[in-house]
Structure 1
Amino acid sequence: MRLRLTIATLGTAGLLAACGGGGGGDDGGSDTAAVAEVTAPATGTIRYESWTPTQETFDAVVAGFAEENPDVEVTSALAPIADYQTSLQTQLRAGGGPDVFVVSPGAMFNQFRQYMEPLDDYAEAAGGDGWAEEYAPEALSRGQVDDATLGLPVGYGVAGFLWVNRTVLAQAGVEVPQTYDDLVAAADALAAQGIAPIALGGKDAWQVTDYYLALAADIDADALYAAMEGSGEWTAPGLVEAFEAWSQLFADGVFQEGAVGAATYNDAYDLFTQGQAAFFANGSWNLDMYANSLDRVGGYDIDAVPFPFGDDGAPITGDVSGIVVVNKASENKGAAYRLAEYLSRGDGSQILMDTFLDFPVTAQAREPSALPEPAAQPRASIVTMIDERLAGYRQVPSPTVAEALGQALVAVAAGSASPDEAAGRVQDAAESA
């Protein structure tokens, strides 16, 4: 079933909808002794591995967690996501791995879900029968399979829009584009003055996928989500048209020169934060630049705007930032669950929000403890887009299809595949999966 997020007042009134319990599905069975640990003082050592957050932020999480669980020692290993994913797969296949780890929703969640401990019994022991009502139902569902909760959501973000440096545009005498023709004209005017138009990390599959999804959701959202869920085909006319629109973006020069070979971090990020690009293709998690790069961006008037496409701008897609899970092979599942819950909806989630300035996954209204003044306007604009433009989730469910889609989009951008060929490659991957 297609997931349509309904987050009417996210960021000001929080995720208001609540859901019932997620069932106690037993995908391998929960350890009764470990569940009992949730209500008893936790002890022992647990290990956390992920690509996020930074070590400095996680140290703050550990310090806060230790105040509530003084007899638990938490060790950690953080690595770039590609290295982390390879290491995690190797460890889990060997029957080991960290006690607590993080996955992205969709493809990565499905890739590793066989190694995840079902958490419903732990959650009920810790929070009672109504524990699931603490979450927005759409957010919680991203870690659930067949009524079993295999992971707890962490943070929420959206993608498919543009960051715009209004200061740079004003200095160049260029208006914020409202239509696609406006965007092409703006790109030409900016390039003539030596300013990059949209800074894009074109070699990052996740990044190009976000913008293809925005285009496809504008052209034919039903066909897009049918293909994502396996009930439709990637060769549907609307999705081929979206590949054509993706190709046209490069033909029309709306991205910086060399975008196909650029990384989001830090090639495109540096262009934008240093005022060398007027726009940046990235998601709402880029709000963390006001925590990490305030010295660069604090003097600019920066906002978030819909991608200029279609009649009034493209839709956006959204998803939880991560799903924190307990390793089925862990020997200290009770303490591991406590850390997962602390990160998801405990005080640790506030530490993460204060770092990333993202949005809550809980039913309770939450805001960053201190929002830098320059971040207020773009965050408010993102909230408005969530209210008005959210098409559905952003993570492709199938690992095989996700990989094929990213590769196909890079090939189209590089001119080595036509839109028809790209759509066919993704459909072939879907059929093989």
Structure 2
Amino acid sequence: MKKTTIGGLGLGLALSLSLAGCAGQTAPTADSIEVGPATGTLSYESWTPTEATFDTIIEGFTAENPDVELTGTLAPLEDYQTSLQTQLRSGSGPDVFVVSPGAMYNQYREYFEPLDAYAEAFDGEDWADIFNQDALDRAQTDGATFGLPVGYGVAGFLWVNKTLLAEAGVEVPTTYDELVAASEELKAAGIQPIALGGKDAWMNIDYFLAIAASIDKDALYAALEGEGEWTDPALVEAFEIWSGLFTDGVVQDGAIGAATYSDTYDLFTEGKAAFFANGSWNLDMYVNSLDRIAAYDIDAIAMPLPGVDGGAPITGDVSGIVVVNKASKNKGAAYQLASYMSRGEGAQVLLDAFLDFPVTNDGKTPTTAPEESQTARASIETLIETKLAGYRQVPLASVSEALSAALAGVATGDVTGEEAAQRVQDAADNG
């Protein structure tokens, strides 16, 4: 049986379970877990995937487990987070839900069921070997596994429309000076340079992390982990280079007020901008906007930056982490759904829907990717192999919020690099 609902999430959802019933229970061992097809009722909530894609997940999972009744509720991310927080704090909530790595994972981890015993029971002692370890690490804390990763994407590079560049007589830039010069020529030809959705905090953070990693990756990740200072000279310099993207005119006018979806997405797919700041998930434009971009030669390149040979590094992370609610009364079935979506046939459904990169080592690739996407996808794979600096999600929500505000202030010229760094450090110090 399948049922997916879309919209705001109420509190009177199926399987609102009390944590009190779990109090005092000892953690299961692999030997104590009953292995077999999933049965009973099972609920899932998230902001992702789409209704149509999750209906396909339900159909596949219930075909493998005909005695389970799986329902799904999807809502916009902010609505989902608000409702999820309320439910979990009251000891209820869905059996299975999704969190982002980093801040969201850390915020809700106390509500996650540890999954190592379930994984060993259902998938064997070597269950972890199928996963890319970097992806699995994002769902682990202190050696324990609290969820299973789904999808992998990278950010911090530039999409480039080579057709527009050629028509304007501009070479693909490989240095920052070349990027500045190219931007001037493009504007003179009526073409925007980098289309950057600076209204989106996540977008600004993605490109700041790439800039910072190009200067001193160790300093960046030490600060992210709370082991270093955001006032490190390398990170102050990163804020100043971020400012330069705006003062040097390599991003479109009004970038800080533009949204990625759909302001800058439309600029790029409609052939009005030569470059686009967005991550690998933008491969879905070959599905959703192929009619717009089919005539263009589009590729992906490392972002040229001052003093960086070969362009900036990139950052990457899993798209989500599927977790089992600690309060669930059907944890075995819940684990099976998480596994189905992360490493089973459901993972293939998600890859085909989002054109992500796999989190497993079994060679899964999208089966529906249009031929036109292959050049860019191959370039992104090369960037992953040669340019990956580390993860892209900021671990602490307070630091992420402060970094977002600081980057916006620097972009508008209201905040200096030193002031921005100090504001983020203040947030880190205050937790």
Shared fold (TM-score greater than 0.5)?
yes
Q: 1: distance between equivalents of 2:414 and 2:372?
A: 41
Residues 67 and 35 (structure 1), Cα distance of their counterparts in 2 relative to 1, 3 Å cut: farther
Deviation (angstroms), 1:268: 1.3
Q: Deviations over 1:3-42 (max 9, x none)?
A: xxxxxxxxxxxxxxxxxxxxxxxx9866649996661332
The percentage of counterpart residues that share the same residue type is 67
Aligned-residue CA RMSD (Å): 1.9
Match of 2:118 in 1: 122
Match of 1:41 in 2: 37
Q: 2: distance between equivalents of 1:289 and 1:389?
A: 23
| Contact 1:61–1:351, Cα closer than 8 Å, also in 2 | yes
SS at match of 1:318: strand
| Contact 2:30–2:117, Cα closer than 8 Å, also in 1 | no
Q: What aligned pairs does 1:261-272 form with structure 2 within 5 A after superposition?
A: 261-272=257-268
Match of 1:242 in 2: 238
Q: Deviations over 1:196-238 (max 9, x none)?
A: 2111111111111110011101111111111111111000000
| Contact 1:343–1:349, Cα closer than 8 Å, also in 2 | yes
Matching residue within 130, 147, 150 for 2:146: 150
Q: Does 2:190 align with 1:194?
A: yes
Match of 1:8 in 2: none
Deviation (angstroms), 1:145: 0.8
Match of 1:374 in 2: 372
| Contact 1:326–1:336, Cα closer than 8 Å, also in 2 | yes
Q: 2: distance between equivalents of 1:37 and 1:258?
A: 57
| Contact 1:291–1:355, Cα closer than 8 Å, also in 2 | no
Matching residue within 95, 107, 111 for 1:99: 95
Q: 1: distance between equivalents of 2:64 and 2:253?
A: 51
Match of 2:310 in 1: 312
SS at match of 1:90: helix
SS at match of 2:241: helix
SS at match of 2:160: strand
Q: 2: distance between equivalents of 1:393 and 1:222?
A: 12
Count of residues in correspondence between the two structures: 408
Q: 1: distance between equivalents of 2:26 and 2:288?
A: 40
Match of 1:4 in 2: none
Q: What aligned pairs does 1:134-145 form with structure 2 within 5 A after superposition?
A: 134-145=130-141
Q: 1: distance between equivalents of 2:169 and 2:45?
A: 47
Residues 30 and 277 (structure 1), Cα distance of their counterparts in 2 relative to 1, 3 Å cut: farther
Q: What aligned pairs does 1:11-22 form with structure 2 within 5 A after superposition?
A: none
Deviation (angstroms), 1:80: 2.4
Match of 1:171 in 2: 167
Match of 2:284 in 1: 288
Residues 252 and 99 (structure 1), Cα distance of their counterparts in 2 relative to 1, 3 Å cut: same
Q: Does 2:187 align with 1:205?
A: no
Which segment is superposed worse, 391-400 or 155-164?
391-400
> Which consecutive unaligned segments of at least 5 residues does structure 2 have?
1-22
SS at match of 1:220: helix
Q: What aligned pairs does 1:351-370 form with structure 2 within 5 A after superposition?
A: 351-370=349-368
Q: Deviations over 1:331-382 (max 9, x none)?
A: 2212211111000000000111111111111121221113211110000001
Match of 1:131 in 2: 127
Opposite residue 370 of structure 1, the aligned amino acid is: T
SS at match of 1:232: coil
SS at match of 2:404: helix
Q: 1: distance between equivalents of 2:34 and 2:372?
A: 41
Deviation (angstroms), 1:254: 1.2
Residues 120 and 287 (structure 1), Cα distance of their counterparts in 2 relative to 1, 3 Å cut: same
| Contact 2:29–2:117, Cα closer than 8 Å, also in 1 | no
Deviation (angstroms), 1:299: 2.2
Q: TM-score, normalised by structure 1?
A: 0.90
Q: TM-score, normalised by structure 2?
A: 0.91
Deviation (angstroms), 1:79: 2.2
Opposite residue 189 of structure 1, the aligned amino acid is: E
| Contact 2:88–2:111, Cα closer than 8 Å, also in 1 | yes
Q: Which has the higher contact order (CA 8 A, sep 6+)?
A: 1
Q: 2: distance between equivalents of 1:29 and 1:60?
A: 35
